[in-house]
Amino acid sequence: MKILVCISHVPDTTSKINFVNNDTEFDTNGVQYVINPNDEFGLTKAVLLKEQQGAHVTVVNVGGTDAEATLRKALAIGADEAIRVNATAIDGLQVAKELENVVKQGGYDLIIAGTESIDYNGGMVPGMLAGLLGCNFVNACIGLEVAGSSATTIREIDGGKETASVAFPLVIAGKKGLVEEKDLRIPNMRGIMTARTKVLQIVEPVATSAATKSVKFEKPAAKSAVKLVSADNLDELVNLLHNEAKVI
């Protein structure tokens, strides 16, 4: 079985976010990057399938040379090889088309992506990729077991969960729950050293253009100061909630 895991190279959640050029571009100065958390769950599941069933695991990213450190980390965690599509990721459709080309060239049985990335939170790429490939798709996947040429999946739905048997080729959009948090892998020294010798292939992009463009970014408004009201002054509390906060 051949598995492709889509990896997003995203800012660490502890990074301070700023914008430049009149708030039209993200300021990358001083920002630490990590594997997108939803993708990390998917990568761990793929590595477990490799250990249990002998699957071959490839990771892929659409991005610049700065993403190679993140791909090397994925290799250290247990992926067999990596692919970097040498293109700046601009929007979901463009990324999906680049990934479509990689999938068709590689003939993968299972494609695992995160439900969304924590940078732009578009949540579009997995569904678009499945549509372009014309293959089965399971969104919000929190359970995956593979047997032969099909998989049993569990996905979140409104008010509960749905279990389905799905044939390959298959795209899943995984999230927290696909594996337990305690099972997430931390690269050890052996993995880091081994990752240096694994193949990281650079692929030139296909002729695709973005359908959208970010015009301007705006940070959330700063939190207002907290007002403390004495426990003995309920009238003032009610007045503030009614006339200022307007929640009652």
Question: Which pLDDT tens digit goes with each residue over 24-57?
Answer: 999 999 999 999 999 999 999 999 999 999 999 9
Low-confidence ranges of the chain (pLDDT < 70): none
Position 14 in a domain: yes
pLDDT at 210: 85
pLDDT at 143: 97
Position 238 in a domain: no
Position 235 in a domain: no
Tell me how many domains the chain contains.
Answer: 1
Position 80 in a domain: yes
Position 109 in a domain: yes
Position 16 in a domain: yes
Q: How far apart (Å, rounded) are the C-alpha atoms in residues 244 and 248? A: 10
pLDDT at 226: 86
pTM: 0.89
Position 28 in a domain: yes
Range of the domain at 212: 2-220
Q: Are strands 200-203 and 81-86 parallel, antiparallel or unpaired?
A: parallel
Q: How far apart (Å, rounded) are the C-alpha atoms in residues 72 and 16? A: 24
Domain CATH for 86: 3.40.50.620
The per-residue pLDDT for range 183-218, each reduced to its tens digit, is 999 999 999 999 999 999 999 999 778 888 889 999
pLDDT at 74: 98
136 φ, ψ (degrees, to nearest 5): -65, 150
Would you say the C-alpha torsion 10, 84, 42, 113 has a positive or negative sign?
A: positive
Cis bond upstream, residue 169 (ω within 30)? yes
Position 103 in a domain: yes
